[in-house]
Chain A
């Protein structure tokens, strides 16, 4: 089998919490947010790998670790076989960013409001020393805008971000990520703030770019339906761990983990015939904080199948239960 474009091994990110004065003089232990707590996955060329889960489960932190906006606490990251976990020098990071780019949920806050669209797209070219002359850079900028269907480009390059609609801004953000011709894009909730039609338009665009330009994506979302549509593989995260992983059809049509089942049961569908039925949601309580992680299976306080003495004591491992379909639960097939 081909080598993965991106491989992540036992990746961890803990954020220390500031201690109060009293805790410090009492010598209370330093507490940490276990934002990402030992996750591993591989993404192959031209695949879309979705990371799904409720807010706070560690999706964005994972994305930031991969684009090297954050340093991992532990674990490894490989890009096309090369260990990039601890690259540090300015040159190394710069070179890495040419290959790995990120798109954010809110394109507005990721753009300098005083920059015109031209400047926004020229900036990465200047940083990376691409295009010797203004004319060369202009050509690349026009090409990138055409690629994301902001046409004719000459009508848009002089505008400021606030003069564009939400969908147009997200397309400019995609153009900015694409202009360096990256191999890998981390897209963090890129359509979550958009209306349904614009959402469809942006998803279509990202899909087309995958096919035309061979881009590989990590698609971060809380929305299972868009993951089904856009992604090939998906991993479900809960409190910093991947609890289930596999091809999207397998995970959605035959979920193995109780948490995945609960998430799927909660997804609204445009089918009005069940409007008077109270939905069964096979889950208890609410997401605990990521500081005091429950012992054993970290989902056990909310799991309706949890077994005393097992689930609250022993940490389950991510096991391949059927070909390519993994889950982290003691009772797969038995609950």
Chain B
């Protein structure tokens, strides 16, 4: 049996703002197997990035982990002091491709400097060692290793995103989180980056959490998919199950809102209304104000994730 590289249980991360408590990650449980890509989807604001940052052990202020467990390769990281996280966990056990990172490269430093500085600073590598390693990974992502001497403005968008991916791989982490890694890219470059991630998955046995709001892109790479709504996972299962036999009304509606390239669709469906405010989410099922099948029980009690099929879970009173 393939082992889990990541086990997340009952995880809660709330933002304690002066307007109230934003329940952005609210009781999340899932596992990630070695060599697997788990896709994480849902409308913007549902908590995808918040979950990513939390798994890195670095919720954005005023966010705090309230409870729950994150085990990476069997080791509990919730509660570890910051210096231990920085020295032993972040980037070498789990790393993240931040949304928009390619546009955040510092224009005044070379690519090599930006890739290697953290290695020398936090990991005590020598300059030669660090440059060597950066070049090895640049090559792996399909770039000329000589670009360590170039500046960000000399690179195209696709090249910059490859630099970011190489940087996330430098310390050979067990888990990589990719947050909207193709969102700002044109369609051809986007497909090239997806191809690269598929190649890395195969060659390095990379385990990845791929975050996007775009269910079409997600299908291109995910082995399993988790659908988030208002801070919770409402459905999780193998990709084929999620795309072809979705069990949760929210997943069903999202899928029927996608225009298809090779099909003539008379009318697209859409979900009326908008996702709730996470300070005061609706009682019961959080989707109930927008759900066409809402029943009395949905407004009163929260449904739990329930196995509807082998390794396929959904949280809905209809099931």
Contact = CB atoms under 8 A, between A and B. Distances in A.
Interface of A: 54-55, 165, 167, 195-201, 203-204, 222, 224-226, 228-230, 249, 252-253, 262-279, 281, 283, 286-287
B187 A222 contact: yes
Contacts of A253: 262
Chain B interface extent, by class:
35 or more
Contacts of A196: 43, 213-215, 254, 257-258
A203 B266 CA distance: 12
Given A224-B261, A264-B261, A269 B216 contact: yes
A228 B187 contact: no
A225 B188 contact: no
| Shortest Cβ-Cβ A-B pairs, 4 listed | A272-B239, A229-B259, A266-B191, A200-B257
A54 B188 contact: yes
Contacts of B202: 276
B259 A278 contact: no
Nearest to A203: B268
Nearest to B188: A266
Given A249-B264, A262-B188, 19 more contacts: A196-B43, A196-B214, A197-B271, A203-B259, A203-B268, A204-B267, A225-B261, A230-B259, A265-B191, A266-B188, A268-B194, A268-B220, A270-B219, A270-B258, A272-B220, A277-B198, A279-B195, A286-B158, A286-B189
A249 B260 CA distance: 12
A196 B216 CA distance: 10
A252 B261 CA distance: 8
A258 B230 CA distance: 43
Contact of B260 (A228, A265, A276): A228
- Interface SS of chain A: helix
A175 to B, nearest CB: 18
Given A226-B259, A268-B214, A269-B261, A279 B194 contact: yes
A275 B191 contact: no
Nearest to B44: A195
**Best-surrounded residue of A201, A253, A283 (most CB of chain B within 10 A):** A201
A281 B243 contact: no
Interface string B268-302: 11111010000000000000000000000000000
Contacts of B265: 229
Nearest to A259: B188
Nearest to A283: B188
A167 B199 contact: no
